[in-house]
Chain A
Amino acid sequence: MNLNYSDEQNMLREQVLKFCETNYDFIDREKILESDSGFSKDNWQQFAELGWLAVPFKEENGGFNFGPIELTVLFEEFGKALVVEPYLSSVVMSGTIIENSNHKNKSSIIEKIISGEHQMSVAYAEPNIGYKFFDCHASTSVNNDILSLNGTKSLVLNAGNANQFIVLAKHEGLSALIMVDAEVDGLSIQSFKTIDGQTCGELTFENVLIETDSIIASGDDAEALFNKMMDLSILCISAEAVGAMNASYIKTVQYTKEREQFSQPISNFQVLQHRMVDMFIETELTKSLLIKATLQLDSNDPDAQSTISALKVQVGKAGRLIGQNAVQLHGGMGVSNEMSIGHYLKRFTAIDSMFGNTQYHINKYQTD
């Protein structure tokens, strides 16, 4: 038994930490959020140069062949600084699917993802199906030997910047993952800001022509691949949440030491101390489940599924407790948009809603 990070993993953590300290303070982040694309292209290029965009890919595709552990290291540090660059949607979500698909050009696509010139996103959510993503209505149809795609996909992360989408849709009555270029005729994209400062879009497909070899997985293969992507994505946003939890309680401790009322720092008050201890405890417990889930996923442990649901539940509950208490202990400053602390609460709220919320995963945990 050894629960230490390797030297290599620690170096990666140091590197991300240093980058965020230099390039990602709260004011830098505000500027990025106000920009047209909603993320920094300079940062993205630096991610590419530092090799971060290659982290999860296999060596044969130009990657570092790193696994879930390295991804969680990266995301924990992203979480501390509330990084908004579309790493999750492009590298983790799309990258996982592409690399494990039978797509004929997958090497060249991955190469372009790694170099930073190409961004992708996965279109899986739809109105009125909740978290049952395989019950989707978007589907292909054949008319005069021509295959076309119709339907609506919602909440597609970073949709306005993606060059390509992987669309979850029905094909011949089965689930299928279909590659679609962002520029294709019949696809319209409506972009939105998300509550936590990122961007997403609604995609409408009207008779979008599909080549047969754009269907990169179908049937059980498609669903298995999609689930694999979901597992890894839950792990990554959970790691991000752990980083954000860590930052939230540390910032709160700092603030209460500086803030004086009744002629003393408010950190002297036991009622506040115990709340901060609760925040610390929940952070550590979440970190424990994160490590457990990471190691199980890394070793293809059959219990990984239920641990991932347990992790998502813990992230949801702890995120709410920590986020709300962080705001409460900052008093009026906590609800000011100009302070960073409220933005952690927003990110916790967004993270809980994604890939199945707390309630969803409590139910799933019981059936796994």
Chain B
Amino acid sequence: MDISFSEQDLQFQEEIRAGLNGAEYPAHVKEKQEKGINFSKEDVIDFHKFLSSKGWMGYNWPVEYGGTGWSPVQIYLFLNELALAQCPTILPFGVGMVGPVIYTFGTQEQKDRFLPDILNFDTWWCQGYSEPGSGSDLASLKTKAVLEGDHYIVNGSKTWTTLAQNADWIFCLVRTETTQKKQEGISFLLIDMNTPGIEVKPIITIDGDHEVNSVFFTDVKVPADQLIGEEGKGWTYAKFLLAHERFGIAGVPVVKVQIERLKNLTAEYNDADLNKKIAELEIDLEALEFTELRTLAAIAEGGHPGAESSILKIRGTEIQQRLTELYVEAAGQYILPYEGPDGFESNRTPSGPEYASPSVAQYLNYRKTSIYGGSNEIQKNIIAKAILGV
């Protein structure tokens, strides 16, 4: 057994680190990440454009489709460095989700049409999976697509659509047939968000932020050549997408940085009870981090850990949520004044620590983590079935 990374991998890590500190890195983004300020839409775009300019955008793609062809260890180290530097999160919908589906199941024409824009971040993708009546039971989805000539006519609605307000395109699971087995009538469709009949309505979450949306489709005409693969095989592609190894799901390096920040913020109080809770969180994080490394080691050897990665989702989100609770606990009563997306109401900053207001917003926002991406209860069902065999 050997826990260390190879010389080559460590050199790679240095290259990434140097790139993130290099002159080409957008200065306004760097300033915000160092101060812990929220990123604007422009910041997010500039960051992705930087990744494109370095040729890093396709970090998880094979070389033949314009990706980096990096090894699993390199991908791990890359994402680790981004998180430690507190960069914006890479938007998963294009490069992480629809991209691999297109290069695996799409036609040559579709590859040529969509992949370059993903790698250049010229299109912002969003994900049309959940529906008002279909959450954990995703396959019960009802959004309908009927083929008329060379177009599908789409009617229905999607929900919890992250950043749909910014998106140019959406990939959707739609029902093309009502079948005995509900998984069989589902198809995978790419839709231009500018198509007439699409309406995006904000959903404001309990932290007051506009991150997710409802998307309504009324007689939306979608060219039939925007269907991926075969009609009725959409569920297979969706499962492929979900199983596509998603590194960094545990969020270890981000939590690491945030724990250090919390320690600094609370150093002068030196509250023994809080310190003890922080220590317990750090211990749990160490266990999670090494579990992720075990998974990585298995993947690096060509293995396909399936249900084991559910551990990373479950424990990772639990730890993220506990961290937000500790920030709130540290801020005490100063969490009370509400800072909306447009600032405090009187336009003056209330007394109390600066981190208080963002902390409580984060706490409320992060309740989502145990719900999205297959709720933690669904993850436990997966482990129960696949590993325990019950």
Binding site for B on A (CB under 8 A): 1-6, 69, 249, 253, 256-257, 267-268, 270, 273-274, 276-278, 280-281, 284-286, 288-289, 291-292, 294-296, 299, 307, 310, 313-314, 362-363, 365-366
- Given A1-B5, A288-B294, A292-B286, 9 other A-B residues pairs in contact with their CB atoms under 8 A: A1-B73, A1-B296, A3-B1, A3-B294, A4-B301, A273-B390, A274-B380, A288-B287, A362-B283
Would you call B288 and A273 a contact (CB within 8 A)? no
Q: Which residue of A lies closest to B382 (CB)?
A: A277
- CB neighbours of A278 from chain B (8 A): 380
Query: B343 near A: Cβ within 8 Å?
Result: no
Contact partners of B383 in chain A: CB under 8 A: 277, 280-281
Nearest residue, chain A, Cβ from B5: A1
Closest B residue to A367 using CB positions: B279
Closest beta carbon of chain B to A74's beta carbon, Å: 15
Chain A residue numbers with a CB within 8 Å of B3 are 1, 3, 292, 295-296, 299
B342 CB within 8 Å of chain A: no
* A177–B298 CA distance with the chains assembled, in angstroms: 44
Pick the residue among A6, A277, A362 that contacts B388 (CB under 8 A): A277
Could you list 26 examples of A-B contacts with CB < 8 Å?
A: A1-B3, A1-B5, A1-B73, A2-B2, A3-B1, A5-B1, A253-B388, A270-B384, A273-B381, A276-B390, A277-B383, A281-B315, A285-B288, A286-B287, A288-B287, A288-B288, A288-B290, A289-B287, A289-B290, A292-B3, A292-B290, A295-B1, A310-B282, A310-B287, A314-B283, A365-B282
Q: How far is the CA of A281 from the CA of B287 in the complex (A)?
A: 11
B275 CB-CB contact with A under 8 Å: yes
How far is B315's CA from A292's CA once the two chains are assembled, in angstroms?
A: 18
Task: Tell me which of A1, A276, A294 contacts B384 (CB under 8 A).
Answer: A276
Q: Are B388 and A276 in touch, CB under 8 angstroms?
A: yes
B290 neighbours in A (Cβ, 8 Å): 288-289, 291-292
Give the interface residue-count category, chain B: 35 or more
CA distance A256 to B388 in the complex (A): 11
CB-based contact B388/A3 at 8 Å: no
Contacting pair B1 A284 (CB below 8 A): no
Q: Which residues of B contact A5 (CB under 8 A)?
A: 1
Q: Which residue from chain B places its CB closest to the CB of A295 in the assembled complex?
A: B3
A363 to B: closest C-beta gap in Å = 8
Q: Which residues of B contact A3 (CB under 8 A)?
A: 1, 3, 293-294, 297-298
A276 and B301 CA atoms in complex are apart in Å by 29
Interface string of B284-312 (1 = CB under 8 A from A): 10111011011011101100000010010
Q: Which chain A residues lie closer than 8 Å to B389 at the CB level?
A: 253
The verdict on B4 contacting chain A, using a C-beta distance below 8 Å, is yes
Q: Is B276 an interface residue (CB 8 A)?
A: yes
- Please count the residue pairs between chain A and chain B whose beta carbons lie under 8 angstroms apart in the complex: 110
- Closest A residue, CB atoms, query B387: A280
Are the CB atoms of B283 and A310 closer together than 8 Å?
yes
Q: How far is the CB of B228 from chain A (nearest CB, A)?
A: 33
Determine how close the nearest CB of chain A comes to the CB of B56; give it in whole angstroms: 22
Q: Are B287 and A2 in contact (CB under 8 A)?
A: no
CA distance A122 to B229 in the complex (A): 69
Nearest B-chain residue to A298, judged by Cβ: B1
Complexed CA–CA distance, A273 and B1 (Å): 33
Contact with A along B59-79 (1 / 0, CB 8 A): 000000000000001000000
Q: Kindly list chain B residues whose C-beta atoms are within 8 Å of the C-beta of A285.
A: 284, 287-288, 291, 311, 315
B230 contacts the other chain (Cβ, under 8 Å)? no
Q: Please give me the residue from chain B that is nearest to A301 by CB atom.
A: B3
Kindly list the 10 A-B residue pairs having the minimum CB-CB distance in the complex, ordered from nearest.
Answer: A288-B290, A273-B384, A267-B390, A285-B287, A3-B297, A288-B291, A310-B283, A277-B380, A292-B290, A295-B3
Residue B14 CB within 8 A of the other chain? no
Interface residues of B in 1-47 (CB under 8 A from A): 1-6
- Chain B residue contacts of A270, Cβ below 8 A: 381, 384
Asked if A273 and B283 make an inter-chain contact with CB atoms under 8 angstroms apart, the answer reads: no
A contact residues around B283 at 8 Å (CB): 310, 313-314, 362, 365
Closest beta carbon of chain B to A242's beta carbon, Å:
12
Q: How far is the CA of A285 from the CA of B295 in the complex (A)?
A: 12
Bound state CA distance, A128 and B178, in angstroms?
74
CB contacts under 8 Å to A, within B236-288, are: 275-276, 279-280, 282-284, 286-288
Whether the pair A366, B275 counts as a contact (CB closer than 8 A) is yes
B79 to chain A minimum Cβ distance, whole angstroms, is 16
Q: Which residue of B lies closest to A361 (CB)?
A: B283
B314 interface contact, C-beta 8 A: yes
Contact B384 A274 (CB under 8 A): yes
Which residues of chain B come closer than 8 Å to A274, judged between CB atoms?
A: 377, 380, 384
User: Does A2 contact B291, Cβ atoms closer than 8 Å?
Assistant: no
Complex alpha-carbon distance, A69 and B387, angstroms? 26
CA distance A273 to B280 in the complex (A): 26
A358 to B291, CA, bound (A): 21
Tell me the nearest residue of chain A to B384, going by C-beta.
A273
Chain A residues, CB < 8 A from B288: 285, 288
The minimal Cβ–Cβ distance linking A321 to chain B, given in whole angstroms, is 13
Do residues B314 and A291 form an inter-chain contact, with CB atoms below 8 A? no
For A273, give the chain B residue with the smallest CB separation: B384
B-chain residues with CB within 8 Å of residue A288 when the two chains form the complex:
287-288, 290-291, 293-294
Bound-complex Cα distance A180 to B377 (A): 57
Cβ-closest chain B residue relative to A266: B390
Residues of B within 8 A of A257 (CB): 390
Please tell me which one of the listed residues B275, B300, B315, B388 contacts residue A1 in the complex, with CB atoms under 8 A apart. B300
Closest to A256 in B: B390
Q: How far apart are the CA atoms of A268 and B297 in the complex, in Å?
A: 34
A69 — which chain B residues lie within 8 A by C-beta? 1
In contact, A1 and B4 (Cβ under 8 angstroms): yes
B226 to A: closest C-beta gap in Å: 39
| A253 proximity list for chain B (CB < 8 A) | 388-390
| Bound-complex Cα distance A249 to B388 (A) | 9
Bound-state Cα–Cα, A363 to B273, Å: 11
With a cutoff of 8 Å between Cβ atoms, the chain A residues found around residue B291 in the complex are: 284-285, 288
- Complex-state Cα separation, A288 to B377, whole angstroms: 23
Cβ distance B319 to chain A, nearest Cβ, rounded Å: 11
> Which residues of B in the span 134-160 have a Cβ within 8 Å of any Cβ on A?
none
Question: What is the CB-to-nearest-CB distance from A71 to chain B, in angstroms, rounded to a whole number?
Answer: 13
